[in-house]
Structure 1
Amino acid sequence: MSHRYATFIKAINLSVDYLILNVSMILAYLIVDKSYIIWINNKNYLPIVLVFNLIWLLSANITRLYEQVLNKDSIKTYRGVFKTYMLFVSLICFTVLIIIGTKAYSITRQYLFYALAMFGFLLGIWKLIFLAIRRGDRAMLTDFRQAVIVGGGRIGTDLYNFVTSNPERGYRILGIFDDDDKDIDDSLYLGEVEQCIQYVKDNRVDEIFCTLPNSEAKKIEKLMLDADKNLIRFKLVPEFYYTHKPTFVQNFGHIPVISIRPEPLENMLNRFFKRLFDIVFSLFIILFVFSWLFPILSIAIKLSSPGPIFFVQIRSGRDNEAFNCFKFRSMQVNKDSDNKQATRGDARITKIGAFLRKTNLDELPQFFNVLMGNMTVVGPRPHMLKHTEEYSKLIDQFMVRHFLKPGITGWAQVNGLRGETKTTEDMLERVEADVWYLENWSFLLDLKIIFLTFWGTIRGDKNAF
């Protein structure tokens, strides 16, 4: 990291934002209620404090407000603050006015106005102050380390090119040591491997990156020991690495094992919380949405065309195990349902079916799939068996998405990668989004995807047909 205090500054930003939020709520309470001590003991007020704080955390995570706080320019900073604030206001109004209700906790619309207005004003002033401080002290926060590379070749060259093109990593590479200099630029070559330690000591070098092959084990071990003796950090770059993306290193005792991708849901605790959320959320939807919509939609589907209410299709699940996926029937009964994707203007889609697909209501029965455990609320969308077989031969990473349970919605869907896949490139983009989700899963990411799914349904999606 080029900024030694990056994590600290991020924590300060978050802490001050929360302080401003809570001060704004207290001031609004004092203005509206005109009491100066009682708010501390007001049991009706404290739950609203919790709601405000949790919703700000959710909003900031959705917009990624606290990422790269030292690198964003003033325009991007204020744009991020504005987006987060508007999302926060929207969620607060929806939660307090519609879901919780103002009467339950004696919260008035006047209080909401004062609290949100003061928070927005104070937040804007604080960000202005932060940008002014950052502008003057950014150079002070920079901590570039001097380093050398031991070992030329492909790995050493790749490392040098990456570090020099990414100065935010905080390193200055002084040159490269190798016993063979034929592939190294003269301006970078510093000498043979045995000369490295003396050069490092003479030039106050902080770190050594060793990219020598495994066949040079004795040289590597000697370098490592000499670096420790002279209080120099030594970092070993593996001889083989996945060239297209970051890898994940685990330690089996003293043996490093490189995984080609991180998988947060391989952690048992993460899987437990995701499953718990799946059950609670699915039960909520089934009891409070599906229960009253089912008879209405059933009648509409029956009146639209002859056939069953539900459409059941065998699809590919986790570990490529087939399962029965439930949907409300949106098409006329036809022989091509297991082979042919729905297309724009598809004659098979009924009038009520078009509405169901546009609003995603055809997916409601899949919450029963979630309860049964063969689907999850958020994950890669399940494909027909024919498409799994077909695309697994065309796209190298296609089967990786089957490490996860298929979902009712997913990262690909909220990014517009849904509907008909006319070309292999269309499916490749969808697969890349699914693999990204597998590698970057978090509970907050799931909440973000669910929110974006509802928002997309309200706003309308051109690819929903």
Structure 2
Amino acid sequence: MINRHTTFFKALNLATDYLILNISMISTYFIEDKSTVYWVNNRRYLPIVLVFNLIWLLSANISGLYEQVLNRDSIKTYRVVIKTYLLFVSFICFTILILIGTEAYFITRQYLFYSLALFGFLLGFWKLIFLLMRKSERASLIDARDIIIVGAGRIGYDLYNFFKQNPDAGYVTLGFFDDNPENIRENNLFLGGTDKCIEYVMTNKVDEIFCTLPLSESKTIEKLMLDADKNLIRFKFVPEYYDYAKKPTYIQSFGHIPIISVRTEPLENLLNRSIKRFFDIVFSLFVIVFVFSWLFPILALIIKLESRGPVFFTQIRSGRDNNPFKCYKFRSMRVNNDADQKQATRNDQRITKTGAFLRRTSLDELPQFFNVLGGNMSVVGPRPHMISHTSQYSKLIDRFMVRHFLKPGITGWAQIKGLRGETKTVDAMLKRVEADVWYLENWSFLLDLKIVFLTVRNSLKGDENAF
């Protein structure tokens, strides 16, 4: 099936793209550089190679270039390739022309232009070759396997419908085996009782058996499993736990005992937590030193001149493991008695003119980088809620408290998806919680970088839900 080959072709695309990128850089180096220094020995040139490679990785991750490499159609493939290339060129121009400067590494603007142009041409040509190759070999990529399902209950039919609706999964269901024929809705799908299963599989050269029988049929399951092993047939079973979960799960083995987790949590890994914490410290120090240090006196003066009250607004909010902490913000409202209970609303009379600008650009969150530095928050994570809202919504939304497995963040996946601002309904909060839980289950360092980039972009152009 296609899914069996996805990892290989993702790696092939990634490796080939990097090969083309570096060939473009080296070729242009020989054409443009007038010196006799070999590029490998040129210490001034090698950092540029590293910058190009890292920026391509970041751009590809933001655009999702290497996702669904076998399922995405040709037009969408080229659309994503162009998007990735434009992101790459933008980052390169910003990083090298503005931040680093070309003179520092003796590279010219002509070198940048020719290397990027050559890379774009070769990248487009390679993607054309890949799409043609994929089209001609698509039949062989779909390595379909014939399977039968033992047990025609709700779980069995759910599995049957999944394979029917997802042919790319590569499984063709021949029918059901069940000791109660009345469970099978279509006569042509009934293949016999469970005692006839192995015989049918051997005669018809079926590739795999999927067992969806309940645990009450443990003796039947065990016999089928042993007979399948004896006859070199792959046997898989769906646990009854399936009834309690509606999403992918994570299975660990403690000896011979399988343990099923209801969700994956990448940040339970010590290395991942260390990477995230290191990034939090470095990034927050950068913002505090190079942005907050000069912006604070300006904003503090404007805030004080417009309305009476402190420059900072401090509020107790729910942190990791639901532990309360003091969250800092620039004050964006006039001092009022409802600050700890009532959310900000559109055209809220409590918000000052300066506060409206701060909230629209998210500058009111800048002091929270001190929370990050202190370890109460992270740069990226679920937004911290007021204690009263945590108490309120935890009773209305089943998975609300799951978001507190993580440190709260200055920005998060929900925020870049537009799920910010006032939550007028429980459904609006539910969508925000679902986004936070998705982030918890799918965290990666590159995802954090993507969220930070999109947050900065949204702050510069303004967010309509920020008020």
Bin of the TM-score, shorter chain as denominator length: over 0.9
Look up the equivalent residue of 2:295 and give its one-letter code: L
Kindly provide the amino acid, as one letter, of the partner of residue 460 in structure 1. G
Q: Distance in 1 between matches of 2:5 and 2:381?
A: 35
After TM superposition, list the pairs within 5 Å mapping 1:183-262 onto structure 2.
183-185=183-185, 186-241=187-242, 242-262=244-264
Q: Which residue of 2 aligns with 1:48?
A: 48
* Alpha-carbon separation, structure 2, partners of 1:363 and 1:6: 41
Correspondence for 1:419? 421
Q: Aligned to 1:104, what secondary structure does the other structure show?
A: helix
C-alpha deviations, 1:275-334, integer Å up to 9, x for none? 111111111111111111111111111111111111000111111111110001111111
Q: Is the 8 A contact 1:314 1:323 kept in 2?
A: yes
How far 1:36 sits from its partner (Å)?
6.8
For residues 164-185 of structure 1, the C-alpha deviation after alignment (integer angstroms, 9 at most, x for no partner) is 1111111011111111111113
1:2 corresponds to: 2
TM-score when scaled to structure 1? 0.98
Asked if 2 retains the 8 angstrom alpha-carbon contact of 1:145 and 1:171, the reply is yes
CA distance, structure 2, for counterparts of residue 29 and residue 341 of structure 1: 57
Which residue is equivalent to 2:106? 106
Residue in structure 1 matched with residue 168 of structure 2 by the alignment: 168
The alignment status of 1:350 with 2:349, answered yes or no, reads no
Q: Distance in 2 between matches of 1:464 and 1:108?
A: 42
User: How much has 1:206 moved relative to structure 2?
Assistant: 0.8
The C-alpha deviation readout for 1:385-439, integer Å capped at 9, x for no partner, is: 1111111122111111111110000000001111111111111111111111111
Unaligned runs of 5+ in 2: none
* 1:314 counterpart SS class: strand
Match of 2:149 in 1: 149
Contact 2:142 2:168 in 1 (8 A): no
Structure-2 residue corresponding to 1:158: 158
Q: Contact 1:317 / 1:402 at 8 angstroms: preserved in 2? A: yes
The amino acid across from 1:191 in the alignment is G
Tell me how far apart the structure 2 counterparts of residues 101 and 37 of structure 1 sit (CA, whole Å): 21
How far did 1:459 drift? 1.9
Structure-1 residue corresponding to 2:19: 19
Stretch deviating more after TM superposition (132-141 or 439-448): 132-141
What is the number of equivalent residue pairs in this alignment? 465
SS at match of 1:251: strand
Quick one: distance in 1 between partners of 2:405 and 2:101? 42
Matches within 5 A, 1:210-359: 210-241=211-242, 242-359=244-361
- Superposed counterparts of 1:104-143, under 5 Å: 104-143=104-143
What letter is aligned with 1:419?
G
Amino acid at match of 2:120: G
Offset of residue 37 of structure 1: 5.9
Verify the 8 A CA contact 1:30 1:36 in the aligned structure 2: no
Aligned match of 2:451: 449
- The farther-off stretch of 71-80 and 455-464 is 455-464
Rounded to whole Å, the distance in 1 between the matches of 2:3 and 2:263 is: 26
| 1:2–1:171 CA contact under 8 A, matched in 2 | no
Distance 1:2 1:136 in 2: 14
Check whether the contact 2:209–2:233 (CA below 8 A) recurs between aligned residues: yes
2:62 is aligned to 62
Task: After superposing the two structures, state which structure 1 stretch, 96-105 or 396-405, moved more.
Answer: 96-105
Question: Is 1:76 matched with 2:76?
Answer: yes
2-side partners of 1:6 and 1:36: how far apart? 43
Residue range with higher mean Cα deviation, 338-347 or 379-388: 338-347
Root-mean-square deviation (CA, aligned residues, Å) is: 1.3
Task: Give the C-alpha shift of residue 138 in structure 1.
Answer: 1.0
SS at match of 1:187: helix
| TM-score (ref. length: structure 2) | 0.97
Q: What CA distance in whole angstroms lies between the structure 2 residues aligned with 1:229 and 1:261? A: 34
In 1, Cα distance between equivalents of 2:280 and 2:12: 34
- Separation of aligned partners in 1, 2:425 and 2:47: 51
Query: In structure 2, what is the Cα distance between the partners aligned to 1:81 and 1:380?
Result: 31
Distance apart, 1:229 and its partner CA = 0.9
Instruction: Return the letter of the residue paired with 1:73.
Output: D
The CA deviation at 1:53 is: 0.4
Q: Does structure 1 retain, via aligned residues, the 8 Å contact 2:300–2:311?
A: yes
Q: State the identity %.
A: 72
TM-fit CA distance, 1:240: 2.2
- 1:107 deviates by 2.1
